[in-house]
Amino acid sequence: MKKVFLFVSLIVTYCSVLQAQPSIEYSSAFEESSSGANKILQMKNGNTFLLHFSKQGIDVNVYDKKRDNISKTLLTSDLWDASQMPATSLEGLYEINSQPVIFLSQFVDKEYCLFRIILDPETGKVLKEKKLSSFPISTKFTLRRGEKSTGEFVIAKDPYSDCYAVAYYDDEAETLNEKIRVVHYNGQNKKIGAGYLELPKGKYKYINFVAMAVIGDKQVNVCTYGYNSKKELGEDARVIISKLTTGDSVFVNKELDFSEDFRSTQAIMKYNPGTGMLNLLTLTSLKSKHNTTYYLALINYIDPATLFVTTTAPISTNKASEYMQSHLDVDAYQGLPQDMIINPDNSITVLMESNTQEIITHNNYTTYRTYLGNIGLTVMDTRGKEKEGAAILKLQYAEWLMNPLYLHYKHEGLWSYNENRAMLRKNYNAFLSFDYVSTNANRYIMFNDRPENFDRDEKKKRKLLEYPDRSNTICYKLNKGDMEKFYLFGEPTDDRQNNYCNIEASNYLPETKTYATIVMKRNGKDEDSHIAWVKFE
């Protein structure tokens, strides 16, 4: 059974091949582990951290400005359990106070725990680690971790400062007003505010956590959904925007007058310092019909001081559809939001990707697949009006069910842990979907694709990419209405040569316009791995 996901609700010129490539530096070769997960963090001091998470612990490799490996260390702990890494979640990896900070959540001693691990920026060794909170475990099975805790953790960092917040959601709290607790930290990892999110007494029975954003050391904003019936919407169900001001322990709440059922909602909330507004992207599952799930995608513009919504606009794909009709012989663009980018001119870029899920039930087991298709972009002005759009043909096969907001969660720390299963298909998900980089001059989209798709007419349907180790990384450059493409790590000389990258591990540092990723260079049966630092214009 296949499920297709659709919306309810930049004209660019013909794509040509660009010969000039960005400047790229490579590390010395290293052996890529057959299991675990990788993440890269670039530091403002010029160092780069390569973290490999496995059952042995966290392998930390530090590279300096000259791209030399200056330190190697294996992190283990008496607090968290390395052997449980396959069931562990990376909730966040950030530079805070000029130090790498890891937020890990995992099951330890019948509790679901959140840990904060602060590393030395030169050696990668642990400077300080702490268990921030925990919840009891229930044994209900879930696809995400194999178990389900009665709580969850959400980390939100302010991209314009080192301040951040941690939200604790306890589903089995005795009262509704004890379910969500938020702690606000400054750039020195010190608490500057904390409080429980209290809603009007007796008005709601249930609450869902939707999104959170941090505005420096001033305040934390939280979006939730309060309702009274698990079966029907009810007239008193509401989306609620709340704020916790620094030094205060009491949230200020405002109920939004939305009529749709927002219980099944995912969201991204970001502060735009240029406009002084909060931008809230909501993606809500409305209904399913004939194996197709319909979504409502909205952009909301919210005053963080008054919590007043100044504008609500549906996310439009009209410009991407116009491009597909004009240049790709496709009637319309169909895809779901993946991430929301705040641009220097205060406009918003919404990144999209088509998402078709397939669930196949066999005699004694079930398989789950996701087909990640065409990429779409739309740019919206400060009032929610669509300015421009673009689209790129792509078709990839992934194991399991990929979340529609996968790209956003990937940037927040999500990984695809490779169990190294000998009898099953290798987990290639870390090499799928796409990545996006925006500089002041250009925009770039990168993804792994089959070599024959690169030379294929832009109007022709793409062949399915099933095995990324037989692919090459393709880069599309968008600039002032022009779209150009090239092999990011060099054109292959024959079908035995492949240069492809770990999209999920990658990290972009805007201060240096440098994109760092792990590149696998394959020539026949020989393959080695490198960190590649790509300097974009």
pLDDT at 231 over 70: no
The distance of Cα 343 from the centroid of its chain, to the nearest Å, equals 17
pLDDT at 232 over 80: no
pLDDT at 236 over 80: no
In terms of pLDDT, which residue wins out, 427 or 405? 405
pLDDT score for 145: 35
pLDDT score for 421: 55
In terms of pLDDT, which residue wins out, 403 or 55? 55
Alpha carbons 21 and 138: distance in angstroms, whole number: 52
Give 259's pLDDT tier (boundaries 50, 70, 90). Answer: low
pLDDT score for 189: 98
What mean pLDDT is predicted for residues 503-527?
A: 95
Give 12's pLDDT tier (boundaries 50, 70, 90). Answer: very low
Alpha carbons 201 and 163: distance in angstroms, whole number: 31
pLDDT over 70, % of the chain: 91
Sequence-distant (≥ 6) Cβ neighbours of residue 499 within 8 angstroms:
472, 473, 487, 488, 489, 490, 492, 519, 520, 521, 522
pLDDT digits (tens, 9 = 90+) for 399-420: 888 888 999 999 999 998 988 6
pLDDT score for 260: 67
Q: CB of 499 within 8 A of CB of 519?
A: yes
Which of 203-217, 254-268, 358-372, 431-445 is predicted least confidently?
A: 254-268
Alpha carbon separation from 486 to 18, 42, 248, 386, 509 (Å, rounded):
6, 25, 52, 28, 22
Residue 212, burial from CB neighbour count under 10 angstroms (0-12, 13-18, 19+): buried
Which of 107-111, 240-244, 423-427 is predicted least confidently?
A: 423-427
pLDDT digits (tens, 9 = 90+) for 176-224: 999 999 999 999 999 999 999 998 888 898 898 999 999 999 999 999 9
Give 143's pLDDT tier (boundaries 50, 70, 90). Answer: very low
Give 9's pLDDT tier (boundaries 50, 70, 90). Answer: very low
pLDDT score for 293: 82
pLDDT digits (tens, 9 = 90+) for 457-477: 887 889 999 999 999 999 999
Q: Give the residue extent of every domain in the chain.
A: 2-535
Assign a CATH topology to domain 2-535.
Answer: Methanol Dehydrogenase; Chain A (2.140.10)
pLDDT at 60 over 50: yes
Q: CB of 96 within 8 A of CB of 21?
A: no
In terms of pLDDT, which residue wins out, 330 or 497? 497
Give the torsion sign (CA, 386, 16, 437, 268): positive
pLDDT score for 464: 97
pLDDT score for 341: 96
pLDDT at 423 over 70: no
